[in-house]
Amino acid sequence: MGKGLRPALENNFMSEKYLTGKVALVTGASRGLGKAIAVALAREGAAIAAVARSEEALKETLEAIRAAGGTAEPFAGDVSDNAAMDALVEKVTARFEHIDVLVNNAGVTRDGLLARMTSEAWDTVINTNLKGAFNLTRPVGRLMVRQRAGRIVNISSVIGLMGNAGQANYAASKAGLIGFSKSVAREFASRGITCNVVCPGFIETDMTKELNADMRTKLMERIPLQRFGQAEDIAGVVAFLCSPAASYITGQILTVDGGMVM
């Protein structure tokens, strides 16, 4: 590396916190991936608007961020409720004035074979995982368009790429999120807004801890890197997509799965 380059790189990517003065709204921030994403973005200087269904559930996330000197506020709401999300975005802007980063991470599973899948199980998953992203991207997108800047990251899944027996609702929601994100990326590109998708593989969180030993062994056989992912593996990629280094990346799917899908 040329002599003059190293200090420049260190200034840009290592010493400066690139989200200082920015506000990031993260859904599903009470635990798992959302919590790790909120902490990672706060570490880069962003003030965090943390969303989950109850303020109580967000306590640990807020404490972790505040203990490290960061700023975070709780905003309770159900992402599947369109009117509630419009109101929530208004509350966030009343508190923070702007929203620069949106991470649509909240998600649920209601697994079951299609023949026995209830309409309720279908609706809950689609309304949370897919409509939830619409419910927030529309009002936040309007703000970002006015700001002529913004980063949107949607958390899909390798299941949205591959499908999975017993997860038709979940796979449909996660595949839908990919088409949604590419459309948003095209609509908003001229306003300096990027929209990308992260597809996690098998990550150790509450969502995956129900899997029995046999299923875990079978899964591990399909992971070339021979380990399950940690929430921080996803959080780091989301932070990268919100960094200056990713300013020319939009409409892309980053699969973070230890090589499972390639």
Please, which residue, 23 or 33, has the CB nearer to ligand NAP? 33
Indicate if 170 belongs to the active site: yes
Residue selected from 65, 99, 207, 260 as contacting ligand NAP according to rule CB under 6 A: 207
Residue 168 lies near ligand NAP (rule: CB under 6 A) = no
DSSP the chain: --TTHHHHHIIIIIIS-TTTT-EEEEESTTSHHHHHHHHHHHHTT-EEEEEES-TGGGHHHHHHHHHTT--EEEEE--TT-HHHHHHHHHHHHHHHS---EEEE---------GGG--HHHHHHHIIIIIHHHHHHHHHHHHHHHHHT-EEEEEE--HHHHH--TT-HHHHHHHHHHHHHHHHHHHHHGGGTEEEEEEEE-SB-STTTTT--HHHHHHHHHT-TT-S-B-HHHHHHHHHHHTSGGGTT--S-EEEESTTS--
CB of 151 to ligand NAP, least distance (A): 18
**For ligand NAP, which is the closer residue by CB, 23 or 85?**
85
Counting contacts by CB under 6 A, is residue 82 touching ligand NAP? no
* Residue in 200, 246, 250, 255 binding ligand NAP, rule: CB under 6 A: 200
CA distances from residue 12 to 6, 7, 192 in whole angstroms, order as listed = 10, 9, 20
User: Closest CB to ligand NAP among 82 and 147?
Assistant: 82
Position 61 contacts ligand NAP (CB under 6 A):
no
- Answer yes or no whether residue 71 interacts with ligand NAP by CB under 6 A: no
Q: Of residues 137, 157, 181, 250, which one binds ligand NAP by CB under 6 A?
A: 157
If the CB atoms of residues 79 and 172 are measured against ligand NAP, the closer one turns out to be 79
Count the site residues for ligand NAP by CB under 6 A: 30
Q: Which of 119, 182, 126 lies closest to 154, judged by CA?
A: 182
**125 touches ligand NAP (CB under 6 A):** no
Decide: is 107 part of the binding site for ligand NAP (CB under 6 A).
yes
Annotated catalytic residue: which of 134, 170, 180, 202? Answer: 170
Residue 161 beta carbon to ligand NAP: minimum distance, rounded to whole angstroms:
10
d(CA 189, CA 180): 14
- Using CB under 6 A as the binding rule, whether residue 53 contacts ligand NAP is answered as yes
- Specify the pairing of strand 23-27 against strand 47-52: parallel
Question: Which residue's CB is nearer to ligand NAP, number 147 or number 232?
Answer: 232
Residue among 82, 164, 208, 252 that touches ligand NAP (CB under 6 A): 208
The C-alpha angle with vertex 149 and arms to 63 and 54, in degrees rounded to 5, equals 30
Q: CB under 6 A: which stretch of 105-113, 178-186, 187-195, 243-251 binds ligand NAP?
A: 105-113
Catalytic (active-site) positions: 170
In the complex, the residues that contact ligand NAP under the rule CB under 6 A are 27-34, 51-53, 57, 78-80, 105-108, 128-129, 155, 157, 200, 202-203, 205-208
